[in-house]
Amino acid sequence: MQRNDQFAASRPSNDETIVAISTPPGRGGIGIVRLSGPRSLPIALGLVRLRHPLVHAHARFAEVLDPERPHESERIDEALVTWFAAPNSYTGEDLVEIAAHGSPIVLDLLVRQSLLRGARLGEPGEFTQRAFLSGRIDLTQAEAVRDLIDAQTLYQARLAAQQMGGALSRRIHPIKLRLVEMIATLEAGIDFAEDDVDVISNPELLARISEAEQALATIAATFAQGRIVHSGLTLAIVGRPNAGKSSLFNRIAERERAIVTASPGTTRDLVTERVSIGGIPVELVDTAGLREARDEAESIGIQKTREAFSEADIVLLVLDATQERNAEETDLLAAISSRPALVALNKSDLVPEKTIPAELSSLTVVSTSALTGAGIDELRKQVLAKAGATGEPQSGLLTNLRQHQTVAAAVQALSVAASAVANRTPHEMLLIDLYQALRQLDALTGETTPDDILNLIFSTFCIGK
């Protein structure tokens, strides 16, 4: 994969060698200093004394030299040094990793000595940026590197690993090929217009555009799931006082996070806890019970409940199975009918019959008992179902807003192109819309992404990656 020449002119020169600590700040068993660029190997050789010559992709034992005692050749640490020869490295350049003990003093010493020998400090994400600019990875894969580092659950890590392997790029590539074929065919038709050769008929052209548009629309629709897998979701637990909201909150969180008493109205403020449900990060929000407020504090708590209800990705309405519905619950049932929501029919252990009331038949209802734990596993499954995150992560999801906006823009361009064909617009004008769709797909993977967007993306990486 080749990068547009505009990047070479606008990005820092890869003739420079960069250095950075690639492990988190602080003390640890191991700390890694990474160098990338044409002088990586000679700089590294000036920092250590090797027992055996370096060989590509093989770790070698070395002693880290004390720069203040060069004549005595005294060591200050021991390390493993690994050299990756260009282009077979993470960055596509010569790359050296020095794995010493995780002493901040030693790691800082290695960095400072590298700077004295001609390296410069790497910027956030610059190692991955160099991998992108050298064609080792495309932009969706580079974003997946960041996602993997930020992953909080195994489910998220699996999705990031798929994206790093090019899952999204593989879904986009055949659509791009079809677009290029259409453009080439239309360009040929224009070139041979004087020969009165009809290269492609309008019905066939419309069918090809519609096929590409539908394929991209399917990919665009994956953003709903991809966003949730990537960023997690918020689950607001609402209901009347003493319905068991806080008890269910504690059951789902698997610890006594919210205060539970027999007195109604114990919860006055929002209580939050971040948990993993089936690998999806979920922020649980326990809220104040909805009723006519008894004092100012409860009134503020109820107002916050309504705000949490409005902002949540999924609402869990807790109903007391031993009580008749009141006015607030009736209003809540009407409000959740048009949004992702679940109903927990709590205290089911106190009700002999487990039948679902008729007024709840159109909703997703789970009979639960916060006291015994009955129904909690099923409740978790239903949360995942509402989030669309059951089973293994779908391959090639859109996981961030940039990706979604880019694909949506391509869909829009193809929609305009289809209208142009229907209106018998000249092919010269139609090509403008097709080229616009192609540019959007190029921007998705990075071939034509503006430089300021690249700066924004890679600046969110940690230093050393």
pLDDT of residue 258: 55
pLDDT of residue 2: 41
Cβ-contact 391, 279 below 8 angstroms: no
Cβ-contact 247, 320 below 8 angstroms: no
92 to each of 58, 85, 133, 315, 459, how far by Cα in Å? 17, 8, 9, 48, 20
Vertex 305 angle, CA 301 and 307, to 5°: 115
Q: Which DSSP letter does residue 357 get?
A: P
Is 232-387 the same fold as 162-222+397-445?
A: no
β-strand partners of 61: 80
Cβ-contact 384, 314 below 8 angstroms: no
β-strand partners of 367: 345
Q: Say whether domain 232-387 belongs to CATH 3.90.550.10.
A: no
Which pLDDT tens digit goes with each residue over 402-417? Answer: 999 999 999 999 999 9
Cβ-contact 319, 305 below 8 angstroms: no
Q: Compute the distance between CA of residue 371 and CA of residue 306 in angstroms, rounded to an integer.
A: 27
Q: Which DSSP letter does residue 462 get?
A: P
Q: Which DSSP letter does residue 56 get?
A: B
Q: Compute the distance between CA of residue 380 and CA of residue 384 in angstroms, rounded to an integer.
A: 6
Q: 121: part of which helix (H) or strand (E)?
A: strand 120-121
Alpha-carbon torsion 141, 146, 149, 152, what sign? negative
Cβ-contact 59, 32 below 8 angstroms: no
pLDDT of residue 10: 41
pLDDT of residue 291: 61
pLDDT of residue 4: 44
Contacts (Cβ under 8 Å, ≥6 apart) of 427: 186, 189, 190
Provide the residue type at 455 as one letter.
N
CATH number for the domain formed by residue range(s) 162-222+397-445: 1.20.120.430
Q: Compute the distance between CA of residue 396 and CA of residue 379 in angstroms, rounded to an integer.
A: 28
pTM of the entire predicted model? 0.77
For 221-311, list the strands marked E by DSSP.
Answer: 233-239, 271-277, 280-286
Q: Which DSSP letter does residue 290 get?
A: P
**Regions of the chain short of the pLDDT cut 70:** 1-14, 70-73, 191-199, 257-269, 291-299, 301, 354, 389-393, 448-450, 452-453
Q: Compute the distance between CA of residue 71 and CA of residue 349 in angstroms, rounded to an integer.
A: 80
Q: 5-136: what fold?
A: Gyrase A; domain 2 (3.30.1360)
pLDDT of residue 78: 94
Cβ-contact 454, 402 below 8 angstroms: no
Contacts (Cβ under 8 Å, ≥6 apart) of 239: 245, 289, 290, 317, 318, 319, 320, 329, 332
Q: Compute the distance between CA of residue 463 and CA of residue 21 in angstroms, rounded to an integer.
A: 7
Q: Compute the distance between CA of residue 194 and CA of residue 198 in angstroms, rounded to an integer.
A: 11
Among 147, 143, 170, smallest CA distance to 157 is for 147
Q: Compute the distance between CA of residue 464 and CA of residue 97 in angstroms, rounded to an integer.
A: 11
Cβ-contact 335, 262 below 8 angstroms: no
412 to each of 116, 404, 417, 453, how far by Cα in Å? 53, 12, 9, 21
Q: In what order do the strands lie in the sheet with 271-277?
A: 271-277, 280-286, 233-239, 314-320, 341-346, 365-367
Cβ-contact 316, 305 below 8 angstroms: no
Domain boundaries, the chain: 5-136, 162-222+397-445, 232-387
